[in-house]
Amino acid sequence: MATPQHQASDQSPVPGNPYGAAGEYGQTQAPWNQGPVPGGWGAPAAASHAPRHCRACGGQYAEDFKVRSHMGILIMMKFEHLNGPFCRDCGIAVVRQMTTRALVLGWWGPLSLVIFNPFTLIWNLLGYRKFSKLPPSTPAPGRTHLDTGPAVLRRPQAYVTLIPIAWAVWIISQALTHSS
C-alpha cells in the first residue's frame, strides 16, 4: 500500500484559451458516457497531490489532458470537453470520439469553420500525441479501458469534413479566377 510520491506537475491549460472558465467534470455528455458507470468515473480527482490514475479505467500511467470537441451551427456554438487524466488507451479512445464528433458537427458556422473547429482538431492532435507516448497501463481490477475503436480516418462520419473543405476550395478558386 505504498503511496506513490507522484507530484502532479502544474500543467495549466493554455493561458488565455478561448474556452475560458470551463466547467467541472461531467458537463459534457459524450456518447459513451451515458448512464452510471461503476467505480468512480466522474468522481472529481479532487486532490492535486493524488497520484494520476486514469479516470476511466484506473490505469496507472495517465496524462492529464483536456480533450475537446466543438459544435457550431450558424451562430450557435457549443464547446465541449472531457478532463483527464486518461491512460494511453482511454485517452486515445476519448480523442477519437471527440474528434470524430467535431469533424461532423464542428464546421457549420462561420467562426466555427475558420477558428474554433481547426483549433479543436489541432488541440486533440496534440492530445493524441501525448497519450500515444504513454506506456500501456493495466486497468484497475474489475474495470476496462474504453474502447479505442477504429482510427478517426476509418470512421465514415469523419468524411463529412470533405463538404466544408470542398466548399472552401471552391470559394477560393472562384475568388482567384475572378480576380485575374
* Residues that bind Zn ion in the complex, under the rule CB under 5 A: 54, 56-57, 59, 87, 90
From residue 19, give the alpha-carbon distance in Å to each of 15, 70, 116, 133, 141. Answer: 10, 11, 10, 26, 36
Choose between 59 and 106: whose C-beta lies nearer to Zn ion.
Answer: 59
CB of 60 to Zn ion, least distance (A): 9
CB of 130 to Zn ion, least distance (A): 14
SS3 72: strand
Choose between 85 and 106: whose C-beta lies nearer to Zn ion.
Answer: 85
CB of 145 to Zn ion, least distance (A): 5
Choose between 32 and 104: whose C-beta lies nearer to Zn ion.
Answer: 32
- C-alpha grid cell for residue 49? 497531490
Choose between 124 and 161: whose C-beta lies nearer to Zn ion.
Answer: 124
CB of 132 to Zn ion, least distance (A): 13
Choose between 59 and 72: whose C-beta lies nearer to Zn ion.
Answer: 59
Rounded Cα–Cα distance for residues 37 and 30 (Å): 13
The four Cα atoms 43, 46, 51, 55 give a dihedral, to 10 degrees, of 30
CB of 101 to Zn ion, least distance (A): 20
* Contacts by residues 12-18 (CB-CB < 8 Å, ≥ 24 positions apart): 13/66, 18/115, 18/116, 18/119
CB of 159 to Zn ion, least distance (A): 28
Rounded Cα–Cα distance for residues 86 and 73 (Å): 30
**Which phi and psi (to 5°) does residue 135 adopt?**
-70, 150
Choose between 54 and 158: whose C-beta lies nearer to Zn ion.
Answer: 54
Rounded Cα–Cα distance for residues 119 and 70 (Å): 9
